[in-house]
Amino acid sequence: MVKAFNEYGFKVLRHFNFKFSDGQNTEVYDFNKYGHDIDICIYNHTDISLIIGDVIKSKKNLFFKPTVPERGYTTLDELGYGPYSSITYDKPSFEHYTKEEVNNFYETDVNKWIQSRSNKWFNQFKPLGTEINEEDYYLIVGQCYGDEVVKRHDFGSYKEKVEQIINEISRLDKNRKIVVKLHPYINGENQPMVGGFGEYIRNEIEKISSSVVVYTGNLSIHDFLPKARCVFISNSGAGIEAMMHNKPIVSWGNPEYHWATYRLIHLSDIIRAIRVEDWFDSFKQQQFLYWYTKHYCFYDYESCYRRVGEVI
């Protein structure tokens, strides 16, 4: 990204605590030298609502954040990241891509990501170790209960919303199982959940209905998607991974990809959301995934140079 900004004529300074892993040498920002004479200030993993108080005053703020589908993919946005991004509010132009373009993308890139069980983390998740016995189930993808994206980008009790949704699905459909995959980092560390908050959440969820099966630990989402009927999710990046598997997505946390999901605004509307055959548009969802990974994210110098040009 430094090289891209340099190519657009910017001098890049860095905060004294910021280190580049690839060894790029940049000058440390010195207030006595530069003051507030800054054109663009770039932040990692935050948003405009938190840039208040004693901060560097700049003409423009930008926010970058690593994202799915695999390590190296990054977003650069004017509002923030994930659900609190500009593309959540302004519908992107993604519905003009042809079937030939999209099919080729799925046959090459998407197939590679699925086969390699790709993820944005620095590690590979463990194989499930056994087949999921259920078929045609509702998959609920859990997020960290204390994460910004469910506490501030969405708001209200995430725990209560998850439990209400499970209860409503089990009331409406007595014939299908509800599989809940809790976030592997729900205890704040990358390890299977033994005791602690994760175990408490599992016990709370399992009390709701005999239809519920809860999975915990450092497991890959790719093991859970193939047999799912549809995916219920607030606003996790796992929604992008669900698109790889062509699964209908019901979202309630207003994610940036809500343009290709069923937006669950009212709990009572789950009765229509679970009738996926009435609303799911697989090709539209594929078009969004193509646009998101190929034209919104950056992942190499060429795509970074393009994205920097778009936001400056």
- CA–CA separation, 289 and 257 (whole Å): 9
Same structural domain for residues 69 and 217? no
266: how many CB neighbours lie within 10 A of its CB?
Answer: 9
pLDDT of residue 221: 93
Which of 58-62, 148-152, 187-191, 261-265 is the least confident region? Answer: 187-191
Domain count, the chain: 2
Across residues 3-30, what is the average pLDDT? 88
Question: Does 210 fall in a domain?
Answer: yes
Range(s) of the domain holding residue 10: 2-91+294-311
**CATH number, domain with residue 234:** 3.40.50.2000
The one-letter code for the residue type at 217 is G
Residue 178 three-state SS: strand
Same structural domain for residues 198 and 169? yes
How does pLDDT run across 250-309, given as a tens digit for each residue? 999 999 999 999 999 999 999 999 999 999 999 999 999 999 999 999 999 999 999 999
Judge if pTM exceeds 0.85: yes
How does pLDDT run across 137-174, given as a tens digit for each residue? 999 999 999 899 999 999 999 999 999 999 999 999 99
Cβ neighbors of 111 (< 8 A, separation 6 or more) are none
Query: In angstroms, what CA-CA distances link 247 with 103, 189, 232, 259, 260?
Result: 16, 29, 10, 15, 11
Question: Does 254 fall in a domain?
Answer: yes
Same structural domain for residues 306 and 273? no
pLDDT of residue 66: 95
Question: Does 98 fall in a domain?
Answer: no
Question: Does 110 fall in a domain?
Answer: no
Question: Does 103 fall in a domain?
Answer: no
pLDDT > 90: percent of the chain: 82
Question: Does 107 fall in a domain?
Answer: no
Flag whether pLDDT at 78 surpasses 70.
Answer: yes
DSSP of 56-124, one letter per residue?
--EEEEEEEEE-SSSTT-EEEESS-STTSSHHHHS----TT--HHHHHHHIIIIIHHHHHTT--SSSSP
Same structural domain for residues 189 and 144? yes
Same structural domain for residues 286 and 303? no
Tokens of 312: 């400056």
Give start and end residues of each alpha helix (H) in the chain: 2-7, 31-34, 86-89, 99-105, 111-115, 148-151, 158-172, 196-206, 238-244, 270-273, 282-291, 301-311
Same structural domain for residues 173 and 58? no
Same structural domain for residues 205 and 263? yes
Same structural domain for residues 66 and 147? no
- CA–CA separation, 259 and 281 (whole Å): 11
Same structural domain for residues 216 and 307? no
Same structural domain for residues 250 and 299? no
Tokens of 310: 């778009």
Question: Does 227 fall in a domain?
Answer: yes
Cis amide leading into 248 (omega within 30) = no
Confidence of residue 193 (pLDDT cuts 50, 70, 90): very low
Question: Does 277 fall in a domain?
Answer: yes
